[in-house]
Amino acid sequence: MFTGRSALHALPSPFAVVLSLVMAITALLLPVRVDDAWWHLRAGRELLARGELLTRNTFSFTAPDWPWFMHEWLSELLFAATLEKLGAWGLVLLAVTLFACTLALGWRVLVRWEDTGWAAALCAAFVAVLLLPAFSLRPWIFSNACFAAALLIAHADLQVRWRLAGMAALFSLWANLHGSFLAGLLALGALLGGAVFGQLAKRPDALGLRESGAMLGAAVAGCFVSPTPVDRFLHPLQYAAASLAGRQGHLRELLQQNLEWQPPSLASPFGWMLLGLGALCATVVLASRERPAWGHVLLASAFCAMAFASLRNIPLAALAACPLLGRHLPQAFRRWRKDGAPPRLPSSHLPVPLAVLLASGWALHGAMPTRAELARLSPEYFPSGLLEQLDLHRPQRPYNHFDYGGAIQWALWPHVQPFWDQRVDCFPPEVIRDGLTLHNAAPGWQQVLQRWQVDAVADRAGSALAQALRADGRWRVAWEDGDSVLFLPLER
């Protein structure tokens, strides 16, 4: 029988087993997506070279003087520096590590009140599955870790002053990593709302009114630690307002064509898993026979509603459910077992995951020795053959598929500049309108090509515009590989 701090602490805990499996799968069997990472890498490289934030959309010929606010400058700097120092495998290892840290932070929230062993570990595994939509090499991957850290700090068993300091420090980083720091403020606002309800009902909530209000204030203060503190708040609000208003509907139409902005369908696994998350929360709360905290109910409900509105919010919904599950899981577990929680051997959460992390890094280093091979992770966003042809012909005013813009910036800028790219917040409405007209081959697409003096079209081989150009007598196919196609004018 083992007692105290046995030497067998090297035994893996249930969570260590789950975390190791998740890390191994994401590192070796389910590689990170590299979709719109390319323009982030270009922005980070320019930031490293210039030593100052870019303020104009210099990467595109359609809007070179249009204002651009680098609201993700710290993420882009970290991405570019990692690629420069460690290469492609370093970037992938960074993504795997951030994914693992997010899961570990979420698990710490799950066991904040009591560690229920395999029950908490299996809940963490379910959360890991719901985190997969965000497993992409982009600033959003930092946000998930920051969101989980904010929930952990809010519920940490520490003096209030330390939690306030931690919250301010966290948001001073988060506000410069990604604009989704507003989601963190919303989460703290939900906890504050729960404290208000508890005060009115004269029942203590998850957090007291004073401490929840102070933490929200500390988080807001931390957001002002930025090169552009006022714009740090205004930009995401303006972006959200523009997407709702749609800039006469064009921005909203563009976002709706992006899968991550669409609501989850019950025809997809994530739609059913989101319903399963709600069912799991309801089951655990009912099984515990304890009144849930208003703050936790508001938190989980708000982010579940956001997840049903957009796929990109599913990871936040999974993390937002952790406080509710963590508070009620121990009591539900005891009622289920009837004889209380079983004794567990002393174990550790670190040795096995660290070993898997090192092994994954070594495997990635051997499998991805060059930067160019990073494109293999998401070839639909980095058409290597098409980029070679663009470099060969070097058109001055090409139209490109929306998803190709970042790759063109990374590989060919400034010799070739794209028509548009994934930075939808730094293009004037007429560029988005005309880009959608070409993308859909809508009436008037020929006039748009003439107005912008387009001298090449780089698009997907089966797109509506590609089909229209094949039927048009003024363009010829200069190159095609089945996935991408390059059109040039007949006279060229």
Of 65, 64, 94, residue with least CA distance to 77: 94
Q: Which two tokens stand for residue 155?
A: 């519920």
Backbone angles phi, psi at 109, to 5 degrees: -70, -40
DSSP 32: P
Cα angle vertex 287, ends 152, 318, to 5°?
A: 35
Q: At how many degrees (to 10) do helices 429-439 and 229-256 cross? A: 20
* Cα–Cα distance measured from residue 224 to residue 231, given in angstroms and rounded to the nearest whole number: 10
Residue 455: count of CB within 10 angstroms of its CB: 15
Burial 15-53 (b: 16+ CB within 10 A, else e): bbbbbbebbbebbeeebbbbbbbbbbbbbbbbbeeeeeb
Of 276, 365, 382, 364, residue with least CA distance to 325: 276
* Cα–Cα distance measured from residue 226 to residue 124, given in angstroms and rounded to the nearest whole number: 33
* Cα–Cα distance measured from residue 19 to residue 108, given in angstroms and rounded to the nearest whole number: 12
User: What length is written for the chain?
Assistant: 492
Give whole-number Cα distances, 279 to 13, 266, 283, 492, in Å: 27, 15, 6, 61
337 three-class SS: helix
pLDDT tens for the 492 residues of the chain, in order: 334 444 444 456 777 777 777 777 776 666 778 888 899 999 999 999 999 999 899 999 999 989 888 889 999 999 999 999 888 878 888 888 898 889 889 999 998 888 777 788 888 888 988 888 878 888 989 999 999 999 999 999 889 999 999 999 999 999 999 988 999 999 999 999 999 988 888 887 778 889 999 999 999 999 999 888 777 777 767 666 655 554 445 656 666 666 666 778 777 788 888 899 999 999 999 988 888 999 999 999 999 999 988 888 999 999 999 999 999 988 887 777 655 554 454 445 555 555 555 555 555 544 444 555 677 777 888 999 999 999 999 999 999 999 999 999 999 999 999 999 988 778 888 998 999 999 999 999 999 999 999 999 999 999 999 999 999 889 999 999 989 999 999 876
* Total-model pTM: 0.88
- Exposed, middle or buried by CB within 10 Å (0-12, 13-18, 19+), for 254? buried
